[in-house]
């Protein structure tokens, strides 16, 4: 999902309740995403009674889901700036919950348009609740909240100053660094002072817990309800249950989430707009313009932001490798949540172990159970490796080694999974699933930490939005690529989506080794875009100033 911008305004003190709400949002949003992605195959086969081209249907649903999410990313950024993260995350969970009720009640006969429509409604809600998590992380970091100090009862009022001073000293030290230091070594040194890996792992831990909760409990709801009712009714009731839970989370988010500066000042803005319409405010230009010119972001169009983000990746291989790592993490996520259940379901139907009674009762309970176990193992190891990955990033401070390890684990795990012929009779398949989950969380932690490190530098500080926006965009491309291409491949052979990840993992390893110390532009003899970007910065500032006068 997207990394959204954060406004710097006055805000309430960040409390332990706010922190717990952030953890709940991380947990619940991923649980919802995993539940819907994992059960779509069974919804099509059990509720709609469709048995052909299921892989294509699932891939198409995922494709349009992600296309809509990518289109809504800039809108969510505007809403976050205008209303604050609390309003966006609460609304996201509400829309997601209502969409699950729509799935259960309105989807009766076909995938398109009925199922597709409610999948798009769900995508809109999930884009808000999942995409806003990055803003919530930034709010926590900027507030100076320290969990250890808070639990110990010590005041954290001096933490923001200490952090800023420490980062300022680190940046000053890096300005005088060896000019021969290569790009990835520079990013390694950035993390030595910031230690962002541990901070990012908070969200990774709760995301892993949410995924494990979804596959171990939520995915078994159809089996539980199916003991007393037909398969279709059991699946519908499962969607009603999860939808009700999402609405409850929405209410909790509304009352207990952190109120950012945008959230608090919104009512004031209404009065200020009224005053501006009825008279001239003398401080309108001076104060707001001063705040704007000293801020770390430049307001520009979404497409311009994407263009500059891609240009910077051509100049700095650290950014390009972070993008690629984010791409692969999304590919792995889709294969685990979508194509493991598809593969298991296809396997049981092929060997003829599925039974169908006259009352349309659940016909493949073993398929549900094995799918939940395998995806549960993958997500459990992702959960266990989240804090370990954060510690490794902060201790090793060597992204070349870290990405190489992640790529090797990914290649080994997915290739092993492809070589297994009977998933219900093999113990090795659980080892393969654990390696998949480990590789997934490693790529997530590595990519997000690299982005956090890189955007802390002075030369990229004004480009946080561009870099994080393209990072989210490339992740979306990974989801679309795996959903669409993987769905088509799965109809030929359910194992082919796993080979797709093997190929992308090997490509990432080769790219890291190739670009270590070299920019893409230097390899191909292109000129750097620095001058053009500086001109665009000046043009954006002048355009903004002209609109305010």
Q: What is the pLDDT of residues 4-13, one digit of tens each?
A: 444 444 456 7
54 within domain boundaries: yes
User: What is the C-alpha separation between 529 and 547, in angstroms, rounded?
Assistant: 27
Phi, psi of 516 (to 5 degrees): -60, 100
Is residue 412 one of the residues assigned to a domain?
Answer: yes
Q: State residue 27's pLDDT score.
A: 93
**Higher-confidence residue: 304 or 269?**
304
51 vs 194, higher pLDDT: 51
Residue 275 forms part of a structural domain: no
Question: Looking at residue 101, which CATH number applies to its domain?
Answer: 1.20.1250.20
Q: Answer whether residue 173 is part of any domain.
A: no
Q: What is the pLDDT of residue 57?
A: 87
The answer to whether 349 and 364 have CB atoms below 8 angstroms apart is: yes
Tokens of 26: 């991380």
33 falls within a domain: yes
C-alpha to C-alpha distance for 228 and 353, rounded to whole angstroms: 21
Residues 6+ apart with CB under 8 A from 124: 68, 69, 72, 95, 99
How many CA atoms lie less than 13 Å away from 539 in the CB half-sphere? 9
Predicted confidence (pLDDT) at residue 37 exceeds the cutoff of 70 = yes
What confidence tens digit (pLDDT) does each residue in 225-235 have?
Answer: 988 888 889 99
Model pLDDT, residue 432:
93
Q: Does residue 29 lie in a domain region?
A: yes
* Residue 270 burial class via C-beta count within 10 angstroms: exposed 0-12, middle 13-18, buried 19 and up: exposed
Contact in structure between 410 and 435 (CB atoms under 8 Å): yes
Res 31 pLDDT > 80: yes
DSSP states along 242-276: HHHHHHHHHHHHHHHS---HHHHHHHHHHHHHHHH
SS3 466: helix
More confident residue, 81 or 268: 81
Tokens of 11: 């805000």
**Axis-axis angle for helices 85-106, 16-42 (nearest 10):** 30
pLDDT for the residue 322: 87
What's the pLDDT at 450?
83
Domain encompassing residue 389: 16-144+179-258+300-353+361-524
* 82-118 residue pLDDT tens: 677 888 899 999 999 999 999 989 988 888 888 999 9
Average pLDDT over residues 331-350: 85
Residue 534 has pLDDT above 60, yes or no: no
In whole angstroms, give the CA distance from residue 379 to residue 216: 10
Closest CA to 219 of 340, 50, 383, 399: 340
For residue 138, being part of any structural domain is answered with yes
Q: Stretch 157-162: mean pLDDT, rounded?
A: 43
> Which of these, 513, 511, 500, lies nearest to 410 by C-alpha position?
500
Alpha carbons 487 and 496: distance in angstroms, whole number: 9
Question: Cα dist. 384→202, 235, 514 in Å?
Answer: 12, 30, 31
User: From CA 199, how far away is CA 201, in angstroms rounded?
Assistant: 5
Mean pLDDT is lowest, of 393-402, 411-420, 438-447, 522-531, for: 522-531
Q: Position of tokens 């962002």?
A: 196
Mean pLDDT on 310-321: 82
Task: Give 13 or 336, the one with higher predicted confidence.
Answer: 336
- State the total domains in the chain: 1
Chain CA centroid to CA 97, Å: 19
Check: pTM over 0.85? Answer yes or no.
no
Task: Using the predicted structure, report yes or no on whether residue 216 has a pLDDT greater than 70.
Answer: yes
CA–CA gap between residue 107 and residue 522 (Å, rounded): 54
* Residue 97, pLDDT score: 95
What is the structure's pLDDT at 176? 42
Q: Which residue has the tokens 């799918």?
A: 371
Is 203:133 a contact under the CB 8 Å cutoff? yes
* Least confident piece of the model among 152-161, 300-309, 440-449, 487-496: 152-161
pLDDT band at 519; cut points 50, 70, 90: low
Segment 133-139 shows an average pLDDT of 71
**Could you give the CA distance from residue 108 to residue 232 in angstroms, rounded to a whole number?**
10
Is residue 453, in this structure, part of any structural domain at all?
yes
Q: ω into residue 113 within 30 of 0, thus cis?
A: yes
What's the chain's average pLDDT? 75
Q: How many CA atoms lie within 13 A of 199 on its CB side?
A: 21
Mean pLDDT for the stretch of residues 13-37 = 89
Rounded to whole angstroms, the Cα distance separating 454 from 319 reads: 7
pLDDT at 38 over 60: yes
């Amino acid at each position: 999902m997207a990394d959204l911008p954060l406004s710097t305004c006055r805000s309430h003190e960040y409390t332990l309740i706010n922190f717990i709400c952030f953890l709940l949002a991380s947990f619940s949003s991923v649980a919802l995403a995993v539940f819907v992605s994992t059960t779509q195959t069974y919804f099509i086969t059990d509720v709609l009674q469709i048995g052909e081209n299921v892989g294509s249907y699932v891939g198409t649903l995922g494709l349009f889901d992600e296309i809509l999410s990518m289109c809504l990313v800039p809108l969510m950024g505007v809403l976050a700036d205008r209303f604050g993260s609390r309003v966006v995350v609460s609304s996201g969970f509400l829309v997601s919950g209502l969409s699950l009720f729509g799935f259960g009640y309105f989807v009766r006969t076909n995938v398109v348009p009925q199922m597709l429509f409610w999948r798009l409604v769900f995508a809109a809600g999930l884009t808000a609740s999942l995409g806003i998590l990055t803003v919530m992380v930034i709010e926590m970091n900027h507030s100076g909240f320290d969990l250890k100090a808070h639990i110990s009862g010590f005041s954290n009022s001096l933490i923001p100053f200490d952090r800023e001073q420490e980062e300022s000293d680190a940046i000053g030290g890096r300005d005088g660094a060896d000019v021969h230091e290569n790009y990835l070594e520079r990013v390694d040194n950035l993390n030595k002072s910031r230690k962002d890996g541990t901070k990012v792992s908070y969200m990774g831990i709760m995301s892993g817990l949410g995924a494990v909760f979804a596959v171990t409990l939520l995915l078994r709801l159809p089996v539980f309800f199916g003991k007393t009712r037909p398969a279709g009714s059991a699946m519908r009731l499962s969607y009603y249950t999860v939808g009700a839970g999402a609405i409850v989370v929405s209410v909790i988010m509304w009352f207990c989430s952190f109120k950012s500066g945008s959230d608090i000042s919104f009512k004031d803005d209404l009065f200020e707009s009224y005053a501006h319409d009825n008279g001239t405010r003398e401080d309108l230009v001076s104060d707001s313009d001063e705040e704007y010119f000293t801020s770390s972001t430049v307001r520009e169009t979404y497409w311009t932001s994407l263009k500059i983000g891609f240009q910077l990746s051509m100049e700095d291989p650290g950014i390009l490798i972070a993008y690629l790592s984010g791409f692969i993490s999304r590919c792995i996520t889709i294969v685990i949540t979508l194509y493991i259940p598809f593969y298991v379901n296809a396997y049981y139907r092929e060997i003829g172990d599925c039974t169908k009674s006259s009352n349309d009762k659940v016909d493949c309970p073993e398929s549900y159970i094995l799918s939940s176990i395998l995806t549960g193992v993958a997500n459990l190891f992702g959960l266990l490796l989240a804090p370990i990955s954060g510690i490794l990033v902060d201790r090793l401070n060597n992204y070349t080694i870290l990405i190489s390890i992640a790529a090797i684990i990914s290649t080994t795990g997915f290739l092993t999974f492809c070589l297994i012929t009977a998933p219900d009779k093999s113990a090795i398949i659980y080892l393969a699933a654990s390696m998949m989950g480990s590789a997934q969380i490693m790529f997530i932690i590595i990519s997000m930490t690299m982005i956090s490190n890189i955007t802390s530098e002075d030369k990229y500080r004004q480009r946080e939005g561009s870099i994080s926006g393209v990072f989210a965009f490339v992740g979306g491309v990974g989801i679309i690529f795996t959903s669409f291409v993987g769905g088509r491949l799965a109809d030929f052979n359910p194992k082919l989506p796993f080979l797709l990840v093997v190929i992308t993992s090997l490509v990432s390893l080769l790219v890291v080794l190739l670009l270590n110390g070299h920019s893409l532009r230097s390899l191909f003899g292109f000129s750097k875009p620095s001058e053009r970007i500086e001109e665009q910065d000046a043009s954006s500032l002048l355009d903004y100033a002209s609109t305010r006068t």
